[in-house]
């Protein structure tokens, strides 16, 4: 189990760094034990992403089939969202966008922000590669801000580079900038201070209400406020 964990963790890191061949090998090593029913599921996810980036989709089909069997049996939003995300990576163009949207919508109802960030990153990358730069920016910007907030620097840099490729430049986050509001946080804070509800803010910014709540949580922490009333005073 320790070897499987080490290989899975290596696969996660390498996928974050964009070293997909290394990620594929590490994930394959994590799946060598046919009796492992715990870490193998996580390793399948990394193998599928790495395979989709290295021209090896057929080598990942068995892993996807096993993952679908497990996630169907689980039936939770998390499980079905991860399934949709992985199917999107290996699907034809006609199915991809609906699968990414399903993954994001399901994960938005959970507290699993890391998986949501990864879904947004992959969706944003797909949008950019299909010349939909404006749509891609919102997904990639949100993913970058989430990864930076988590301290997941490899994935944050991957998102930043993709965002830059759309024509938008994101500041690299450092210790000096961690307490400052990001552009999207500023938008959310301003609208909240004006009295708009989370759903109204979500509609205006084309994001989900749960994403608004996530940004407001960070805004409150960064500005040292505990209510919308205090936020309104601070923003005035």
Q: Which of 97, 99, 62 is nearest to 82 (CA)?
A: 99
Exposed, middle or buried by CB within 10 Å (0-12, 13-18, 19+), for 158? Answer: buried
Residues of the chain with pLDDT > 90, as a percent, come to 62
Q: Are the C-beta atoms of 122 and 15 separated by less than 8 Å?
A: no
Mean pLDDT of 91-110: 92
Q: Which of 96, 91, 19, 22 is nearest to 60 (CA)?
A: 91
Q: Are the C-beta atoms of 21 and 54 separated by less than 8 Å?
A: yes
Q: How does the average pLDDT of the chain come out, rounded? A: 90
Lowest mean pLDDT among 67-71, 155-159, 213-217: 213-217
Enter the tokens of residue 159. Answer: 């998102």
Q: Are the C-beta atoms of 110 and 142 separated by less than 8 Å?
A: no
Enter the tokens of residue 202. Answer: 């979500």
Q: Are the C-beta atoms of 107 and 77 separated by less than 8 Å?
A: yes
Mean pLDDT of 12-23: 94
pLDDT given at position 174: 53
pLDDT given at position 62: 95
DSSP helix/strand/coil, 37: coil
Distances (CA, A) of 143 to 7, 147, 156, 163: 25, 6, 7, 10
Which residue has 């995300």 as its token pair? 85
Q: Which of 157, 131, 142, 158 is nearest to 218 (CA)?
A: 142
pLDDT, tens digit, for every residue of 70-92? 999 999 999 999 999 999 999 97
Q: Are the C-beta atoms of 69 and 43 separated by less than 8 Å?
A: no
Q: Are the C-beta atoms of 20 and 53 separated by less than 8 Å?
A: yes
Q: 50 pLDDT exceeds 80?
A: yes
Which residue has 């034990």 as its token pair? 33
Q: Are the C-beta atoms of 64 and 44 separated by less than 8 Å?
A: yes
pLDDT, tens digit, for every residue of 131-186? 999 999 999 999 999 998 888 999 999 999 999 999 877 666 554 555 678 888 88
pLDDT given at position 226: 87
Residues of the chain with pLDDT > 70, as a percent, come to 96
DSSP helix/strand/coil, 54: coil
């Amino acid at each position: 189990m320790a070897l499987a964990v080490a290989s899975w963790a290596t696969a996660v890191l390498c996928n974050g760094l964009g070293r997909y061949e290394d990620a594929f090998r590490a994930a394959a090593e994590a799946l060598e034990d046919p009796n492992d029913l715990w870490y193998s599921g996580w390793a399948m996810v990394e193998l599928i992403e790495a395979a989709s980036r290295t021209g090896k989709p057929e080598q990942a089909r068995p892993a996807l089939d096993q993952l679908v069997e497990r996630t169907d049996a689980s039936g939770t939003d998390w499980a079905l969202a991860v399934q949709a995300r992985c199917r999107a990576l290996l699907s034809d163009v006609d199915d991809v966008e609906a699968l990414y949207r399903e993954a994001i919508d399901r994960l938005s109802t959970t507290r699993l922000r890391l998986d949501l960030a990864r879904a947004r990153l992959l969706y944003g990358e797909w949008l950019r590669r299909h010349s939909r730069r404006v749509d891609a920016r919102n997904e990639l910007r949100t993913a970058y801000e989430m990864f930076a907030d988590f301290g997941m620097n490899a994935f944050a840099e991957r998102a930043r580079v993709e965002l830059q490729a759309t024509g938008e430049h994101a500041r690299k986050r450092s210790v000096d900038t961690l307490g400052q509001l990001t552009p999207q946080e500023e938008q959310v804070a301003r609208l909240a201070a004006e009295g708009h509800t989370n759903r109204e803010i979500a509609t205006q910014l084309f994001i989900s209400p749960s994403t608004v709540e996530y940004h407001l949580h960070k805004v409150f922490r960064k500005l040292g406020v505990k209510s919308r009333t205090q936020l309104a005073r601070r923003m005035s």
